[in-house]
Amino acid sequence: MITIKQNSVFLAFLFILMAGIMSCKENVPMDLAQESIIPKPVSIMATNSSFKLEEGLSIYVKGEAEELNQIGQYLAKTLKPSTGFEIEVQSTDKEPGAGNIYLTISDSETELGEEGYELIVTENLISLNADKPAGLIRGIQTLRQILPPKIESTTVEQGPWLIATGTITDYPDYSYRGAMLDVSRHFFGVDDVKRYIDLLTYYKINVLHLHLSDDQGWRIEIKSWPNLTTHGGSTQVGGGEGGYYTQEQYKDIVKYAQERYIIIIPEIDMPGHTNAALASYPELNCDGKATELYTGTEVGFSTLCIKKELTYKFVDDVIRELAAITPGPYIHIGGDESHVTPMEDYIPFINRVQDIVLSHNKIMIGWDEVAHASLKQNSVVQFWAKTENAIKGVNQSAKVIMSPAVKTYLDMQYDSTTTFGLHWAAYIEVDSAYIWDPATFVEGITKENILGIEAPLWTETITKMDEIEYMVFPRLPGHAEVGWSAPDARDWDEYKIRLGKHAERFDALGINYYKSKLVPWVNDQE
Ligand code: TNX
């Protein structure tokens, strides 16, 4: 039996409860641990309430550093189109009031490292802290992914812009997480490359390797050898008009990437894959005759003239000009599929080119074949096909970038019905691209030997941005997770659900993606 006294205690309790609910009606209970973040963070601690992003908020950055102000501006610009909020960026030296976002750099270094971050969301404040500015950019991507998907819309949407509360602590497993774009077989202009950079940024990729020259086209202006682009850049696979980046345009791409803490690695492929150069300058050929421009898709038929001294003057000029406009530490020299360069020529050529790269204070990267040469300290081998080459590299103490064609090649078709792409290495469905561990993929190559992973997109069959997106999505988020999240945190059955939820984000970002049947797409279930 309930007594009157118990009854009034009960009523008082009910009253307090109601008042509580009403006073924080804004703070809808939400579970941060249920959010679909890709790549998967190291740790998420949920506190089961919410923060509401509202008109009038500011982004505060701790201290006066211009770099932090720029990151604040980047965040403000990212949130503007869909919320319609004019967000001010202000510097401060103390924690701001309720409703704001606070970006800080730690006073002393913590376990977060170069790219780690800690995101703390309370009912009152979003604070993002990192040891280094790059960590803030990575953390901002997490913040975007825990906002409603329509935050990515290019037009103003209705809120509420609720974010689940809690703490995310996060840092990458590998320091190098790359993507490659072949702009030689088909040329892609500056705007396409910038869009590609934006899509990479969203998944915390930190390297864009540009394949700038091949048989079909030379795509970067070299002022001391102008015909490379005026002639060598004038066509592409299929005979279209091709194109190239002026050095100013290239610098613009580099700057755009830099603002997102992505490095650009330029590749000049040699001694093979050089027909565009050989067609532009007769003197680069052993017989002194220029070749014809090439618009087909064969590989392995061209070579620079290894015995001519002029070849090395050419390489030195190209690398010198490229190094001067490339702030990142690497220059990629290709070195793959030089089928018409005898090994006794190939080895001294690579050795000499390596010295040229070093003389311009850059680190050389080459496809796995370069391991036949004598690698200097710090040179990097990019494994794509032959495990024995990669092992040769490791035996010379080189670090390896893992790009196994059977897992990471974005030009490989998903299955036999895919319209674009090739399948010489494999058909690569979304699960296959995700289910592998770089550190155990090649026997004899362990985590200590590995710099990171990279997913290349060759474009013999890819002609426009829509097609790039179709081949890249949804495999790229998986590669990003393989590079960022530790192997024991990765599980396909759990990942595919998170990926399925990104469909709404792909839609808001306007991404043309392949709707693999293996993924439970959330926009199919509505
Ligand atoms: C092999 S991967 C190549 C490229 C082709 C690609 C097509 C590599 C280092 N060389 O020249 O575009 O296959 O998938």
The preferred substitution site among 210, 337, 381 for testing ligand 1, maximizing ligand atoms within 8 Å of CB, is 337
- Cα separation, 21 vs 32, in Å, equals 20
Atom of ligand 1 nearest to the CA of 214: 11
pLDDT at 22 over 50: no
The answer to whether residue 521 is domain-embedded is no
Per-position DSSP letters for 227-276, written without gaps between them: HHHHTTTS--GGG-----B-HHHHHHHHHHHHHTT-EEEEEEEESSS-HH
Residue located nearest, by CA, to atom 12 of ligand 1: 458
Is residue 415 situated within a structural domain? yes
Q: Which residue among 302, 333, 336 has the greatest number of ligand 1 atoms within 8 angstroms of its CB, and so is best to mutate?
A: 336
Cβ–Cβ < 8 Å for 328, 233: no
Residue of minimum CA distance from atom 10 in ligand 1:
336
Ligand 1 center from residue 516 Cα (angstroms):
25
- CB of 422 sitting under 6 A from ligand 1: yes
- Does residue 383 line the site of ligand 1, with CB under 6 A? no
CB atoms under 10 Å from CB of 455, counted, come to 26
Of all protein residues, the one whose alpha carbon is nearest to atom 13 of ligand 1 is 458
Minimum CA distance residue for ligand 1 atom 7: 458
Looking at the DSSP bridge assignments, the partners of residue 330 are 363
CA of 440 to the centre of ligand 1 (A): 23
Between the CA of 425 and the centroid of ligand 1 the distance, in Å, is 10
Residue with CA closest to ligand 1 atom 2: 384
Instruction: Kindly state the average pLDDT of the residues 68-73.
Output: 97
Q: Does the C-beta of 299 come closer than 6 Å to ligand 1? A: yes
Q: How confident is the model at residue 108 (pLDDT cuts 50, 70, 90)?
A: confident
Same domain, yes or no: 375 and 340: yes
Last residue of a domain, one of 108, 143, 170: 170
Q: What is the pLDDT of residue 482?
A: 98
Whether residue 184 is found in the same domain as residue 134: no
Domain residue limits at 82: 32-170
Residue 112 falls within a domain, yes or no? yes
Residue 4 CB burial class (10 angstroms; 0-12, 13-18, ≥19): exposed
Residue owning the nearest CA to atom 9 of ligand 1: 336
Q: Mean of the pLDDT values across residues 224-239?
A: 98
Residue 466 to residues 108, 208, 457, 484, Cα–Cα distance (Å): 44, 19, 13, 26
Give me the residue label for tokens 């040891």. 131
| 190 and 89 both lie in a single domain | no
Which residue reads 């497993």 in tokens? Answer: 173
**Single-letter amino acid, residue 110:** T
Tell me the CA–centroid distance for residue 386 and ligand 1, in Å. 13
Candidate list 115, 152, 337, 494, residue with the active-site label: 337
**Residues 93 and 152 placed together within one structural domain of the fold:** yes
Give yes or no: residues 64 and 84 share one domain.
yes
Distance CA 291, CA 282 (A): 7
Give the list of residues 6+ apart from residue 496 with CB closer than 8 angstroms, or none.
Answer: 430, 431, 518, 519, 520
* 489 pocket-lining for ligand 1 (C-beta < 6 Å): no
**336 ligand 1 Cβ < 6 A:** yes
For residue range 136-174, what is the model confidence (pLDDT) as tens digits? 999 999 999 999 999 999 999 999 999 999 999 999 999
CATH number of residue 50's parent domain: 3.30.379.10
**Ligand 1, from 418, 424, 454, 458: best to mutate by most atoms within 8 Å of Cβ?**
458
- Return the pLDDT at 8: 59
Any domain includes 526: no
In a domain, 102, yes or no: yes
User: Which atom belonging to ligand 1 lies closest to the Cα atom of 412?
Assistant: 14
**pLDDT band at 523, cuts 50/70/90?**
confident
Task: Quick: pLDDT tens for 368-387.
Answer: 999 999 999 999 999 999 99
For residue 411 and ligand 1, the question of a CB distance below 6 A is answered with yes
Find the 185 Cα to ligand 1 centroid distance in Å.
Answer: 11
User: Strand, helix or coil at 525?
Assistant: coil
Virtual torsion, Cα 197, 202, 205, 208, nearest 10 deg: 0
Atom of ligand 1 nearest to the CA of 185: 12
Instruction: Clarify whether residues 150 and 205 are in a common domain.
Output: no
pLDDT classification of 21: cutoffs 50, 70, 90: very low
111 neighbors 171 (Cβ within 8 angstroms)? yes
Tens of pLDDT, residues 392-443: 999 999 999 999 999 999 999 999 999 999 999 999 999 999 999 999 999 9
Same domain, yes or no, for 119 and 248? no
273: left (phi over 0), alpha (psi -120 to 50) or beta: left
pLDDT at 6 over 70: no
* Separation between Cα atoms, residue 458 and residue 269, nearest integer Å: 13
Based on the domain organization, do 320 and 216 belong to the same domain? Answer: yes
**Going by CA atoms, what residue is nearest to atom 6 of ligand 1?**
458
Taking the CA of residue 336 as reference, the ligand 1 atom at the shortest distance is: 9
Spatial separation of the C-alpha atoms in residues 300 and 318, rounded to whole Å: 22
Question: Ligand 1 atom closest to Cα of 385?
Answer: 2
Q: Do the Cβ atoms of 408 and 454 come closer than 8 Å?
A: yes
Q: Which of 170, 187, 214 is the last residue of a domain?
A: 170
Average pLDDT over all residues of the chain: 95
Whether residue 419 is contained in a domain is answered as: yes
For 193-213, how does the pLDDT look when each residue is reduced to its tens digit (9 = 90+)? 999 999 999 999 999 999 999
CA 456 – ligand 1 centroid, Å: 9
Q: Are residues 428 and 351 in the same domain?
A: yes
pLDDT at res. 514: 98
- pLDDT given for residue 466 in this prediction: 97
Check residue 513 and give its pLDDT. 98
Q: Is residue 57 part of a domain?
A: yes
Q: What is the DSSP string of 137-154?
A: HHHHHHHHHHS-GGGG-S
Regarding whether 225 and 121 lie in a shared domain, the answer is: no
Based on the fold, state whether residues 92 and 233 are members of the same structural domain. Answer: no
Angle 450-316-287 from CA coordinates, rounded to 5°:
110
Q: How many domains does the chain have?
A: 2
Name residues whose C-beta falls within 8 Å of residue 253's C-beta, 6 or more positions apart in sequence.
Answer: 190, 193, 194, 197, 210, 245, 264
- Quick one: pLDDT at residue 27? 82
Please name the residues in contact with 459: beta carbons below 8 A apart, sequence gap of 6 or more.
181, 182, 183, 184, 185, 186, 188, 237, 411, 468
Nearest Cα residue to atom 11 of ligand 1: 299
Residue 291 DSSP one-character state: P
Task: Answer yes or no: do 159 and 42 share one domain.
Answer: yes
Q: Which atom of ligand 1 is nearest to the CA of 382?
A: 9
- Residues 64 and 50: their CA atoms lie apart, in Å, by 30
Find the CATH number of the domain harbouring 296: 3.20.20.80
23 is a domain residue:
no
Helix (H) or strand (E) run with residue 126 in it: strand 125-130
Closest C-alpha among 303, 308, 301 to residue 283: 308
CA of 22 to the centre of ligand 1 (A): 62
Ligand 1 centroid to residue 71 C-alpha, Å: 36
What are the C-alpha distances in Å from 499 to residues 169, 171, 432? 21, 20, 14
> What average pLDDT does the segment 389-394 reach?
98
CA–centroid distance, 100 to ligand 1, in Å, is 48
454 is catalytic: no
